[in-house]
Amino acid sequence: MGKYLARRILTTIPVLVGISFIVFALVSFAPGDSISLMLSNETVNVENVAKLKAELGLDRPWYVQYVSYMGKLVKGDMGRSVQFNRPVAEMIGEKIGNTFKLTIFSCFVSLCIAIPLGVLAAARRRSIFDYSATAIALVGVSMPSFYLGLLLILFFGLRLGWLPIRGLPTYDSTFLKQIRYLILPSITLGSSMAGILTRLTRATMIEALGQDFARTARAKGQSEMGVLFKHAFPNAFLPILTTFGMQFGSLLGGAVIIETIFSLPGLGMLAMNAVKFRDLPLIQGTVLVFAVCFVAVMLIVDILYVFIDPRIRYD
């Protein structure tokens, strides 16, 4: 088990290096860079910008810059943002909490919708629950997130005025207040995942309920509820878990749109603004953090797999 873990972690390293290399190459070869953007400002102080360029080593060839960046990264130094002149790690640290709050709450909302609906749909096939579950799932998967977000803002925020349309209250806010602000963005972000998971839950539950062990349990006198939760659900759980893990990654990426619509200061917006300004250290930092999160989630899912299903062996 420990060996498996070690091996898995080791294979992620070339992946992360690959990602950082692609980002570096893309931004380096791209038209436009942070210095020329600064120079386009008509009030610019040309000498000091030239000094800055030299200080940041931006006049060196790109491969030298890359090696230097990686060298620092290994020591834990993510560099400084060119645009804001602040340590990248600090900027990410401020924003990552917001993105996590949004992502986790979206997951929570999705699961709260998907699992009960999916289980209910499987238990009461061809009933109103089944059809509405499928309908809701399909809508969730087909609705563009930005459209849903705008509709929710229009309806709940403007017309009814029930819910705030900004992602987070400014500060010194209680937990409950933050939840209130997160409701609309989380529903928007989680809708697609909710759709996928609802259908998945329904499908796997239907299959599990049709299996021999379920029939045996019923024959032995287990109640329907018992069959559902003691036998069927644990078997259905694994594929749900895997898909959940994979969807989590797309949540992190999809957060950009939600953050834009709801003015949520998170990692997604930070990354997008960094790209606009060609702020290479900041771009690198945010992309790597995203990638690491994604990889970590996959790893956790894999580990949980081992604990949940002892039949799986990794040598």
Partner 1 sequence: MKKRNTIFSGAPRLLKVFARHKLGIVGLIALSAFIVIAVFAPALVRFDPYTMDLEHAFVPAGSGGHLLGTDNFGRDTFSRLAYGARISLLIGIVVVTLAAVVGTILGLLSGYYGGWVDFTVMRLVEVFYSFPFLILVIAVMAILGPSIFNVMWVLGLVHWPSYARLVRGQVLSLRNIEYIQAAKTTGCGDARIIFRHIMPNTITPIIVQATLGIPGAILSSAALGFLGFGVQQPTPEWGSMVNEGKDYILLNSDMILWPGLCIFLVVLSFNFIGDALRDTLDPRLSKQLK
Partner 2 sequence: MFRKTFAAIVLTALLLGGATAAFGATPRSGGTLKVAASSLQSLQLYKTAANDITDSQSVIFDTLFILSKDDFKPIPSLAEKWTNPDPLTWVFSIKKGVLFHDDNPVFPKGTRREVTADDVVYSIEFMQKTSTAYTLGPITGVKALDRYTVEITTKTPQPFLVNDPNRLCRMCIIPKEAIDKLGEDGFAKHPIGSGPYKFKSFSPDSGLLLVKNAFYRLPVYLDAVEFVVIPDPLAQSIALQSGEIDVIKHLFNLEMADSFEKNAKFNVVKSGGGSYRGLGFNTTVAPYNNPAVRKALSMLLDIDTAYKAIIGDHGERAYGQVPPWVPFGYDPSLKDLWSYDPAQGLKILAANGFKDQDGDGFLDLNGKPFKIEIKTLAGSQVKALTILATQLREKGINASVLTQDTAVWADDLLKGNTTVFFDYSFAGTTGFHSLFHGSMIGAANTHFYNNPEVNKLLDEALTKVKFDELSSLWKKAQRLVFKDTVGIPLYFEYSYAVASKKVVDFVPPWGGLTLVSSENNVWLNK
Interface with partner 1 (CB under 8 A):
11-12, 14-16, 18-19, 22-23, 26-27, 29-32, 138-139, 141-147, 150-151, 153-154, 158, 200, 203, 239, 242-243, 249-250, 252-254, 256-257, 260, 268, 271-272, 275-276, 283, 286-287, 290-291, 294-295
Separation CA 269–CA 263 (nearest Å): 9
Smaller CB separation from partner 2, 117 or 261: 261
Separation CA 274–CA 268 (nearest Å): 10
CB of 193 to partner 2, least distance (A): 24
Angle between helices 280-308 and 267-277 (to 10 degrees): 150
CB of 30 to partner 2, least distance (A): 8
Please write down the HEC assignment for all residues of 154-214: HHHHHHCCCCCCCCCCCCCCCHHHHHHHHHHHHHHHHHHHHHHHHHHHHHHHHHHHHCHHH
Sequence-ordered list of residues with C-beta below 8 angstroms from that of 39, at least 6 positions apart, any chain: 46, 49
CB of 180 to partner 2, least distance (A): 14
Smaller CB separation from partner 1, 143 or 222: 143
The residue from 6, 13, 18, 45 that contacts partner 2 (CB under 8 A) is 45
Longest Cα separation, the chain? 85
The residue from 183, 203, 265, 298 that contacts partner 2 (CB under 8 A) is 265
When asked if residue 96 is in the footprint of partner 2 (CB under 8 A), the reply is: no
When asked if residue 85 is in the footprint of partner 2 (CB under 8 A), the reply is: yes
CB of 19 to partner 2, least distance (A): 21
Q: Which stretch binds partner 2 (CB under 8 A): 18-26, 127-135, 231-239, 271-279?
A: 271-279
Residue carrying the six token digits 């400084």: 80
What is the number of alpha carbons within 13 Å of residue 13 lying toward its C-beta?
7
| Burial class of residue 45 in the structure, from the number of CB atoms within 10 Å of its CB (0-12 exposed, 13-18 middle, 19+ buried) | exposed
The residue from 44, 138, 139, 312 that contacts partner 2 (CB under 8 A) is 44
The residue from 23, 73, 78, 91 that contacts partner 2 (CB under 8 A) is 91
CB of 157 to partner 2, least distance (A): 7
Nearest to 35 by CA among 281, 286, 272, 277: 277
The residue from 49, 163, 241, 257 that contacts partner 2 (CB under 8 A) is 49
CB of 47 to partner 2, least distance (A): 8
Separation CA 122–CA 198 (nearest Å): 10
For the chain, how are helix, strand and coil distributed in percent, rounded to 5?
80, 0, 20
Contact set with partner 2 (CB under 8 A): 30-34, 36-46, 48-49, 52, 83-86, 91, 94-95, 157-158, 161, 164-166, 168, 170-171, 260-263, 265, 269-270, 273, 276-278
